[in-house]
Amino acid sequence: MDVQRKLEILADAAKYDASCASSGTEKRDSRDGKGMGSTAPGMGICHSYAPDGRCISLLKVLLTNACNYDCLYCVNRTSSNVPRARFTVDEVVKLTLDFYRRNYIEGLFLSSGIIRSADYTMEQVVRVARTLRETHHFRGYIHLKTIPEADDALITEAGKYADRLSINIEVPEEASLAKLAPEKDVRAIRRTMGRLRLKLDEAQEGRKATPKGNTAPRFAPAGQSTQMIVGADLASDRTILATSANLYGAYKLKRVYYSAFSPIPDASRSLPLRAPPLVREHRLYQADWLMRFYGFDAGEIVDRAEGMLSLDIDPKLAWALRHRDRFPLDVARAGREDLLRVPGFGTKAVDRIIATRRLTSIRIADLARLHIPVGKALPFIVLSDHRPSSHLLDEARLAERFTPKMKQLGFSF
Ligand code: SF4
């Protein structure tokens, strides 16, 4: 099979993995005349995302889509009737370098089905990264998928070459994983995440203790991430977010990626026939953002009774509508924590508001200048030239103002 055909098969097989993004890496450049690739800003490399938010600036492939495991949600499972292919280590290295030279990519995202054993597969994945870094002095971004059962020495070596490592938790609940991916062991997954966290902490300490000018031992400077498939089981958004909060807290993950389940050919009857609405994935990302940057707890984002995020309105607005007793908020006096809970107020806008109000009072026109969606925020705030009517927040129909109107579908003739 030629490399082009392998690429078609192995890039297609990798597309279901959402956990690739190149944020948070260390800066490297090749201005010293050695090596190839740069992640420094202003060096002509930009991050590029597909309309659905997935990163497309990395060469995203599997080493092989053959796999010993039979995870029901996966198109590469052993019982799947799909064409199989396998790259050699040298083929992935050459493709990465060729694509990099043509400026198609800024790095590599490499995962693999499990062949022979976890150690054998991980060793092959590590060899790609080692060859790129040590033989070709490649300085672009590398994200490696880690196989939980692999030997500790291989994982340490993976961290030496990769910017980011990831292990997919797959589904939020242990019982679902046992049903959908019987060969996977959630304890091994969590144990390896724990090992990664320790190595990341050690590397951080090592960097602090290393005198300026010396090179500190390196371990995945862009941290670890994971992916959860949404909609392959019956887990509610509340359960998904609680699992994410636990992962962020226990293993200091940089990101949890949410990937809406896509029905696959010849799927098991245990799986849903339809994909969940893509907007559910989007709402989970918004909720995740609220946990990481806006001070929300996982438990308060989702309505307890419903267990699911609204698909019609964003989670912060939905929270504000459930907690109207906390509004309207006086923008001139409110603390940062409270301002962050106002619908439409982003973190940067809140910092600008706090800086501005020391000098002058905030008016409606100032919000527009800060690119705050004024119509969304006004019912919840008091400004020097605005106070919402006392009935507005009590109005049963306030939520309707923000819900997108139903549209008559067009006819195709
Ligand atoms: S281990 Fe499971 S999820 Fe990973 S490639 Fe194999 S079948 Fe797919």
* Among 350, 315, 342, 313, residue whose Cα is nearest residue 326: 342
Kindly report, residue by residue over 245-263, the tens digit of the pLDDT: 999 999 989 999 998 888 8
* Domain 3-301: top CATH class: alpha beta
Kindly give the distance from the C-alpha atom of residue 258 to the centroid of ligand 1, in angstroms, as a whole number.
17
Helix H, strand E, coil C: the string for 258-314 is: EEECCCCCCCCCCCCCCCCCHHHHHHHHHHHHHHHHCCCCHHHHCCCCCCCCCCCCC
For residue 274, give every residue at least 6 positions away whose Cβ sits within 8 Å of its Cβ, in sequence order, or none: 263
Q: How far is the CA of 116 from the centre of ligand 1 (A)?
A: 13
- Nearest protein Cα to ligand 1, atom 4: 113
| Span from the CA of 86 to the centroid of ligand 1 (angstroms) | 15
Q: Which of 9, 74, 144 to mutate for ligand 1's pocket (most ligand atoms within 8 Å of CB)?
A: 74
Residue (of 287, 282, 213, 196) closest to 244 by Cα position: 287
Q: How far is the CA of 84 from the centre of ligand 1 (A)?
A: 13
Q: Residues with Cβ within 6 A of ligand 1?
A: 67, 69, 71, 74, 76-77, 113-114, 181
CA of 213 to the centre of ligand 1 (A): 43
d(CA 349, CA 353): 6
For residue 267, name the pLDDT band (cuts at 50, 70, 90).
Answer: confident
Could you identify the atom of ligand 1 that is nearest to the CA of residue 77? 7
| pLDDT tens readout for residues 272-287 | 878 888 899 999 999 9
134: tokens are 């040590």
pLDDT recorded at residue 276: 86
Question: What's the rounded mean pLDDT across residues 346-359?
Answer: 95
Extents of the domains making up the chain: 3-301, 315-402
61, 68, 73, 76: which to mutate for ligand 1, most atoms within 8 A of CB? 76
How far apart are the CA of 114 and the centre of ligand 1, in A? Answer: 7
224-230 sheet: strands from edge to edge: 58-62, 107-111, 141-145, 164-166, 224-230, 255-260
Distance from the alpha carbon of residue 111 to the mean position of ligand 1, in angstroms: 10
Which atom of ligand 1 lies closest to the CA of 74? 8
**184-240 confidence digits (pLDDT tens):** 999 999 999 999 999 999 998 888 888 887 777 789 998 999 999 999 889 999 999
Q: Which residue's CA is the closest to the ligand 1 atom numbered 2?
A: 71
Determine the atom of ligand 1 nearest the C-alpha atom of 76: 8
Mutate to test the pocket of ligand 1, among 67, 72, 168, 262 (most ligand atoms within 8 A of CB): 67
Kindly list the distances between the CA atom of residue 349 and the CA atoms of 145, 357, 364, 367, 379, in Å, as whole numbers in the listed order.
36, 12, 13, 8, 18
Q: Work out the angle at residue 407's Cα, subtended by the Cα atoms of residues 401 and 408, and round it to the nearest 5 degrees.
A: 150
35 pLDDT more than 80: no
Closest to 300 in 3D by CA, of 287, 310, 312, 311? 287
Distance 83 CA to ligand 1 centre (A): 15
Q: What is the CA radius of gyration of the chain?
A: 24
Q: Whose CA is nearest to atom 7 of ligand 1?
A: 77
Q: Among the atoms of ligand 1, which is closest to the Cα of residue 78?
A: 7
The one-letter code for the residue type at 196 is: L
Residue-averaged pLDDT of the chain? 86
pTM of the model: 0.84
Minimum-distance ligand 1 atom for the alpha carbon of 75: 8
Give burial (CB, 10 Å; 0-12/13-18/19+) of 129: buried
pLDDT at site 277: 87
Residue nearest to atom 1 of ligand 1 (CA): 69
Atom of ligand 1 nearest to the CA of 65: 5
Q: What is the mean pLDDT of residues 158-170?
A: 94
State pLDDT tens for residues 179-194: 999 999 999 999 999 9
Cα of 71 vs centre of ligand 1, distance in Å, is: 6
Atom of ligand 1 nearest to the CA of 170: 3
Within a 10 A sphere around the Cβ of 60, how many other Cβ atoms?
A: 21
Please tell me the predicted confidence (pLDDT) of residue 409: 57
Cβ pair 35, 139 in contact under 8 A: yes
HSE, side-chain direction, 13 A CA sphere, residue 128 = 31
The token pair at 224 is 């670890």
Alpha-carbon span 372 to 381, nearest angstrom: 12
From 15, 16, 77, give the residue whose CB has the most ligand 1 atoms within 8 Å, as the site to mutate.
77
What is the distance between the alpha carbons of residues 40 and 32, in angstroms, rounded to a whole number? 13
Identity at 339, one-letter amino acid code = L
Query: Which residue, 74, 72, 45, is CA-closest to 62?
Result: 74
User: 113: CA distance to ligand 1 center in Å?
Assistant: 6
Q: Which of ligand 1's atoms lies nearest the C-alpha of 68?
A: 6
Protein residue closest via CA to atom 5 of ligand 1: 113
SS3 of 70-111: CCCCCCCCCCCCCCCCECCHHHHHHHHHHHHHCCCCCEEEEE
Q: Tell which wins on pLDDT, 304 or 116.
A: 116
Looking at residue 217, its pLDDT comes to 78
Task: Summarize pLDDT for 46-99 with one digit per residue, the tens.
Answer: 344 433 444 558 889 999 999 999 998 888 999 888 999 999 999 999 999 999
Percent of the chain with pLDDT over 70: 88
Report angle CA 35, 38, 41 to the nearest 5 degrees.
155
CA atoms of 10 and 111, how far apart (whole Å) = 10
The one-letter amino acid at 61: V
